[in-house]
Amino acid sequence: MDALGQHWGGALIAGLFGLCVGSFANVVIYRSPREGLSVLQPARSFCPGCRAPVSWRDNVPVLSWLLLRGRCRSCHAPIAWRYPAVELLVGALFAAAWWLSPPVDTPSFGRLLALWLLAYSCVAVTLIDLEHFIIPDVVTYPGALAGLLLSLAFPALHTGHVGFRSDSPHLSALSAALFGLLAGGGSLFLVGRLGNLFLRRKLEEAGVQDAMGWGDVKWMAFAGTLLGVFSVLSAIFMGCFLGAVAGIAMKLWARARGADSPVGLPFGPFLSVGILVELVRPEFAWMLIESLARLARPA
């Protein structure tokens, strides 16, 4: 098999692995916001309708949903199309990550693991936040710990980042990851405090306590462990920019329909897109900043 064939084969295997991780992501998305459930308990997947345990043959990613025609084997209740969609999305992201960063050596293998971790987390955070307006700790806390451990094990993840020193790669990579954690969580915390200061009246009228949820702060602290200081700040800028554009568009749409303007938006999905953009095109945020600066400059 030639090099191109091996590359395609590796991407295919990565995509199949991603389907399995996507199945786990579905468990996290469904269970973590609901009281009485955890990611580990009950141990087996179950039908949300009749609570019947799902057998292994009915739990094969995508394929089982197709064979069952999107219905539970026990009660025949519909199984949401979101389940195979999440599996396919995570599988596609895992395959794309392999394609962009094939593991040809130890540093690239570490980068691939970091890409996979962030890709899975972006999908889980986006869907949970869109539906429940929360980002659960079961995603952010283990993710931050995994980010720190990956940084310690694969110091090349932070080459050139703030706090990295080539004479002590492992400890300095851990230091760089901690700087990224503080930059990601701290900067978003400051954004939230400023939002509380300038939007206090609107927040009180809407019955909203904080302009920025703690879940968003923890989410970017986790992302910072792998992105580093400058990349996590770029991702936050992209998330803020996309959120502002979406907010303005929704206000204009509401005004055109004569309806009340929306008070708030789940911010996690925009931050997730910002992270993915930063992973694929790390220079894009700065290009956008330069373009906005030129537009704002007087003629």
Q: How many CB atoms are located within 10 Å of the residue 181 CB? A: 26
The 10s digit of each residue's pLDDT in 28-43 is 999 999 888 888 888 7
Q: For residue 78, list its beta bridge partners.
A: 71
Percent pLDDT > 90 in the chain is 52
- Give me the pLDDT at residue 116, please: 97
Is 135 in contact with 219 (CB distance < 8 Å)? yes
The 10s digit of each residue's pLDDT in 219-231 is 999 999 999 999 9
Percent pLDDT > 70 in the chain is 89
Q: Which of 69-73, 81-85, 161-165 has the highest mean pLDDT?
A: 81-85
Radius of gyration of the chain, Cα coordinates, nearest whole angstrom: 21
Is 74 in contact with 60 (CB distance < 8 Å)? no
- CA 102 – CA 93 distance, rounded (Å): 13
Q: For residue 53, list its beta bridge partners.
A: 46
- CA 14 – CA 16 distance, rounded (Å): 5
The alpha helices in the chain, defined as continuous H runs, are: 3-31, 63-67, 82-100, 106-132, 137-153, 169-198, 200-206, 214-227, 229-257, 268-280, 284-296
Write out the two tokens for 263: 């008070």
Is 134 in contact with 219 (CB distance < 8 Å)? no
- Give me the pLDDT at residue 167, please: 76
- CA 281 – CA 265 distance, rounded (Å): 25
- Give me the pLDDT at residue 299, please: 55
Kindly report the average pLDDT of the chain as a whole number: 87
Write out the two tokens for 7: 């590359």
- Give me the pLDDT at residue 231, please: 93
The 10s digit of each residue's pLDDT in 260-278 is 666 668 899 999 999 999 9
Q: Using CB atoms within 10 A of its CB, is residue 43 exposed (0-12), middle (13-18) or buried (19+)?
A: exposed
Write out the two tokens for 288: 């956008």
Q: Which of 92-101, 164-173, 222-231, 287-296 has the lowest mean pLDDT?
A: 287-296
Q: Average of pLDDT values for 108-126?
A: 96
Q: Average of pLDDT values for 270-291?
A: 88
- Give me the pLDDT at residue 179, please: 94
Looking at the predicted structure, is the pLDDT value of residue 19 above 80? yes
